[in-house]
């Protein structure tokens, strides 16, 4: 197919970016967390019909194209000087907020046990 026959130009999907709301951003971050725990090889597999990758909740929350569009334009900036340097510098405040939230909601019970494979050994 030549460039003259294409229905859209390269990047035309991104020329009409629809505004988002806080609920949609929260859904996108939730899908990122879910995708990290389910280990997809590529992002598109998360929205696939393939039985190896299919998860029932993913496609009900957001379409794959909208998810990719939000990921492409996602940016976090803070005015506070952060001493952290590296790839986590921009998202560290969100990461820190999530860790604090998880720690406040999880209370280990007395039946908590650790497997030997979790503990580092000198042997």
- The per-residue pLDDT for range 53-67, each reduced to its tens digit, is 888 888 889 988 889
Contact partners, residue 45, CB within 8 Å, separation at least 6: 53
Query: Which pLDDT score is estimated for 103?
Result: 85
Q: Residues 15, 70, 79, CA angle at the centre, nearest 5°?
A: 105
Q: Cβ distance 78 to 93 under 8 Å? A: yes
Vertex 84, ends 80 and 90: CA angle to 5°? 65
Radius of gyration of the chain (CA): 20
Across the range 14-39, mean pLDDT stands at 83
Chain centroid to Cα 86, Å, comes to 19
Q: pLDDT higher for 101 or 90?
A: 101
């Amino acid at each position: 197919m030549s460039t003259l026959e294409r229905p859209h130009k390269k990047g035309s999907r991104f020329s009409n970016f629809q505004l988002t709301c806080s609920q949609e951003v929260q859904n996108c971050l939730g899908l990122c967390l879910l995708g990290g725990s389910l280990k997809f090889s590529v992002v598109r597999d998360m929205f696939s019909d393939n039985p190896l990758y299919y998860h029932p909740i993913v496609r009900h929350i957001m379409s794959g194209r909208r998810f990719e569009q939000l990921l492409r334009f996602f940016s976090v900036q803070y005015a506070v000087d952060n001493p952290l340097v590296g790839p986590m510098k921009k998202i560290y405040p969100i990461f820190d907020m999530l860790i604090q939230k998880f720690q406040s909601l999880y209370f280990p019970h007395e039946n908590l046990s650790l497997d030997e494979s979790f503990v580092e050994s000198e042997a």
